[in-house]
Chains A and B, each alone.
Chain A
Amino acid sequence: MNKKFAVPSILVLLSLFVFVSGPASAQCKLGVPAIKVGVQGAASGPHADYGRQIEMGATMAAEEINAAGGVLGCKVEIRFLDDENRPATGVKNARLLVTDWGAHFTVGTDSSGVAMAMGPVLAELKRIHFFTHAATHRLTEDLVAGKGIKEIVRVSVPIYQDAITAALIFKDRMDIKRWANIGADYEYGYVAWNMFKETLRKYRPDVEFVGEAWAPFLTLDFSPHISAVMAQKPDAIFATPWAGEAVMLLRQALIQGVFDNVQVWWQAMGGSVDVLEGISAEVAKDRFKGKLWATARYIHNWPDTADNRAFIERYRKRWARFPNYSAETTYSAFFIMKAAVEKARSMETDKVVAAMGGMQIRNPGGVREFRSVDQQFIYNVPAGRPVMDTRYPIPVLGDLKVFEAKDYYRYPPFTPVSVTK
């Protein structure tokens, strides 16, 4: 090569190199190429829509954060894994995401069973996991407030929503004296029923709990369960199977004439988008006769704020679906992470947790407030009855009962709730 051109051409090459590779990492003030966020949820089987919604919420949050310049100039990168709703898979995924892929944070998890298995592992992996669906109270009350596992942060409302709101709504229904349970046969189902009974008993010592039946995951035929509890002539049913199983449970209850014989059916997480889509035809024909009640961990038609409306518009444009609660909670978890990291200017667990202290953050689902003692974000979600509304193509919860979070969250000192059948 001609020496006259050698130096300039090397300089040009170097500058090209700097231009191409330089700015992205040079701008990231955390000294990493990107903030890696591992995401997991149930993405196959009857509960698969939750995992998909978690993935959609995470993807959209990462896209929006990156489009607005990232977190302290760092791009957010996500990787989604299916936990198949199995504890062993959830634990394996957590290890893989952190140790193999190098995740700085992890987000998601649908089932309480998976969450409780992951809890102690997170402490060992030293990475914060933002739980966005798993509901058992023990995750935050026992593992965080009790055992001090700082790596657990919960963005979604726990089982207080499923159990305590139900008790508050129906305590005034003097016509309902006999409650029966068709429960999900694992921790979530046990705790929901026990917490409901405990709360309702305080207000209504006259109420009887007359029957229970338990259905494990992948129950295809609920008719023995329905028929067993109906044999006790209950006034109301408390039901916790969720997602596709909730849809089929309700359909099997309809053809067994349950809605002719009970006053109320509480389908705890029946306000979930996949369930509302699944029971659309039945709601349109009023087959539940106004007796079906449900809640969720976020419903898209509440709160009626500009933030929420804009979120739904963007979400529908991006995915052609309504956001389920696992989408909103996951989406919000990313913005909570962003706010905390920006304040801490670090991704270390202790600093991020400290930065969340006293945090109040406006999310599509409303203002969430961080409670340090159990690292639970506090916000409220109403309950109501699935109805058709001309503004929406699928049923929404209507006739909303709104309770302030302070009226139905549990507060320390946390008293134990039985976690067995």
Chain B
Amino acid sequence: MLSPERRPSMAERRPSFFSFNQNPSPLVVPHLAGIEDPLPATTPDKVDVLIAGTGMVESVLAAALAWQGSNVLHIDKNDYYGDTSATLTVDQIKRWVNEVNEGSVSCYKNAKLYVSTLIGSGKYSSRDFGIDLSPKILFAKSDLLSILIKSRVHQYLEFQSLSNFHTYENDCFEKLTNTKQEIFTDQNLPLMTKRNLMKFIKFVLNWEAQTDIWQPYAEKTMSDFLVEKFRLEKPQVFELIFSIGLCYDLNVKVPEALQRIRRYLTSFDVYGPFPALCSKYGGPGELSQGFCRSAAVGGATYKLNEKLVSFNPTTKVATFQDGSKVEVSEKVIVSPTQAPNESKHVPLQQYQVHRLTCIVENPCNEWFNEGESAAMVVFPPGSLKSGNKEVVQAFILGAGSEICPEGTIVWYLSTTEQGPRAEMDIDAALEAMEMALLRESSSGLENDDEIVQLRGDGHTIVNSVKLGQSFKEYVPRERLQFLFKLYYTQYTSTPPFGVVSSSFFDANQDLEKKYIPGASDNGVIYTTMPSAEISYDEVVTAAKVLYEKIVGSDDDFFDLDFEDEDEIQAGGAVNTEQFESAIDDDDDDVNMEGSGEFVGEMEI
């Protein structure tokens, strides 16, 4: 398992204060730097790796390197953690928007902000809100989830389930029929469609092996494949591609769409009847903090408010804005947003992600499943007034996620459409959501037994399957109260597809080696900006590519073995390995029945 040229881990190089025990296995976890070593008071003058930017990828990388034994200095020019993945208060967003429009935050443009007077001087304070710059959902079976468990970073975090995935079609939100049981019991589905759907689901769980079925369609679009091969109708095709697969347009190729659809299905029922999770108090901003803390416990040094000014690849000295310097023996890793002035190596960020984040004063509880405060609404191509060609995704989080106060809700809309069309599409989606919400919250619903269920405590819940359908004619009589609206365009070098392919994160090798006279960033390796991807799928792949460039191999990427007697670690370990293979393993034969095998061993 360990290659001979692998660098010794910290535990091997510097034995733990406590490990005067007998069997120093190579997997003994490094000692607790924070607990045992009073730290030196001065800035380190020499480190193995310097990382600038505390976004998701950089933070996962810092933790992986720290536990591997590298001496890491991790800085951020901002006074907060998260960089491109930050979770910010309203006041921090105000500052950020100004910086974007001044041009001092690269890779973001065209930021527009409205903040109601109710925030700050009214009934809400800036700190009541945690707005993610690039919100994400976590699939229950994913590489990042397995690393969260292995690294124990999950212990710093709290998660809630996300089971509601709606498709917007014909001015109406359809809830997904996403389980076998639901397909069987759905009265609206013709028998033939049910059979075809079941056949497809069975196929997709083990699609790679069945080349005879998909190979002839490898270069065709997914919708052709579903219609021709599985005889599915448009509603099912759209559901599979856009709500389950969360793909971005109708041109998506067959293998990628299959992989994305399987991601959803294999994640279902891992923790319960839902495929995805959301972290409380914020998404990637919260996870980055967790990984940074883990890195710090593993020995990394943290310094916010520190900007890289230049790196000299000959002397290997990095200079910071406050005049301090550090010698970097291995690599300097920099987020594009943290590039020094006079930098000439920042990769081209050719793809746009358009985002609109709104806070609405309305609990919207009817959009959530009971016990949840998250939902996903997908607007497929052609479903909006604007005649959208690309999908608009709306990720909705309520007060239960602790990112906004009781009675309010956050809508994160985004699209992969490029150019001026994007804002029109997003506006059309916003309008559709607004109309739907106004219709639902209007009076008259209580008498319709079919769509209203009474909860034990007297609250009414609208059955989301029918949202919008029955009240089309109802004229909205009031406007929604928007507390906050933030629009911006983010640029990235990562295309909105295939993010699990490492080649996207390894494309700039020539650029890195080139020496440009006068550049302040010769010899620096740049990370990638977050893509439009709504899941965390790209994070681990991107971090691994960088890790391999530094360490030489990714064999010991989070090769941690925390021993622990009172947790259910034995079962957990079995599990994490299975999670890891979920995304890119070719012969992954985990299926819905199969997932019962390993969970069966769990002690709960």
Answer yes or no: do A and B interact.
Answer: no
